[in-house]
Amino acid sequence: MKPIICKVCSRRLNHYADEFGVAYAHPLDVDTNHEPEPIEAPKGWRGKCDFCSHDEPVSVLPVDDFRLPKMSNHQSLGDWAACGMCAVLVETGRWDSLVKRVAAKAAQQRGVPVDLIVAFTLTTLFDAVRKHTRGRLRPLAEENER
């Protein structure tokens, strides 16, 4: 399935379903002042790293769809794109460092100290990603040819 992105900020949106139906939300570590406007990503869209929501992705981690821990109406759909740095941390199994990196980036972007609740949420989220991974990271260039 094609990624759904926000028309306003071009970021990949999180998909979730609740009693009102299917909805989309910005990634939790991205600070926005607008409502998400979901559209299908145009062909060739690469977006940002799904882990840190910041850098350009270079590879893709195959991930099965899963419901987000502690937010069972939120769902992760599809594979996770990773930038160079996040990819290295995933590949070497340094998930703790990945949490620190992403939490620090989010804090830096907002100009606030690292939020422990964000760090904790990321820990549970990445834990779930790790459990639902189907294989190794693949280079994004290879992925686009399929």
* Binding site residues, Zn ion, CB under 5 A: 6, 8-9, 49, 51-52, 55, 83, 86
CB nearer to Zn ion: give 51 or 68: 51
The distance of closest approach from Cβ of residue 48 to Zn ion in the complex, given in angstroms and rounded to an integer, is: 8
Q: How far is CA 145 from the centre of its chain?
A: 22
Q: How many CB atoms lie within 10 A of CB 121?
A: 19
Shortest Å, Cβ 18 to Zn ion: 19
Nearer to Zn ion by C-beta: 86 or 122?
86
Q: Which two tokens stand for residue 70?
A: 């502690």
Would you say 19 or 25 has its CB closer to Zn ion? 25
| Nearest Cα residue to 137 out of 65, 50, 30, 43 | 50
For residue 20, the cross-strand partners are: none
For Zn ion, give the closer residue by CB, 52 or 118. 52
Q: How far is the CB of 26 from Zn ion (least distance, A)?
A: 6
- The secondary element (H helix, E strand) that includes residue 61 is strand 57-61
Count of positions (residues) in the chain: 146
In the complex with Zn ion, the residue whose CB is nearer, 34 or 72, is: 34
Measured at the alpha carbon of residue 129, what is the angle toward residues 4 and 118, in degrees to the nearest 5?
Answer: 85
Query: What is the closest distance, in whole angstroms, from the C-beta atom of residue 97 to Zn ion in the complex?
Result: 12
- Minimum distance of Zn ion from residue 100's CB (angstroms): 13
Question: Residue 125's CB: how many other CB atoms inside 10 A?
Answer: 22
Q: Which residue, chain included where needed, has tokens 């981690």?
A: 61
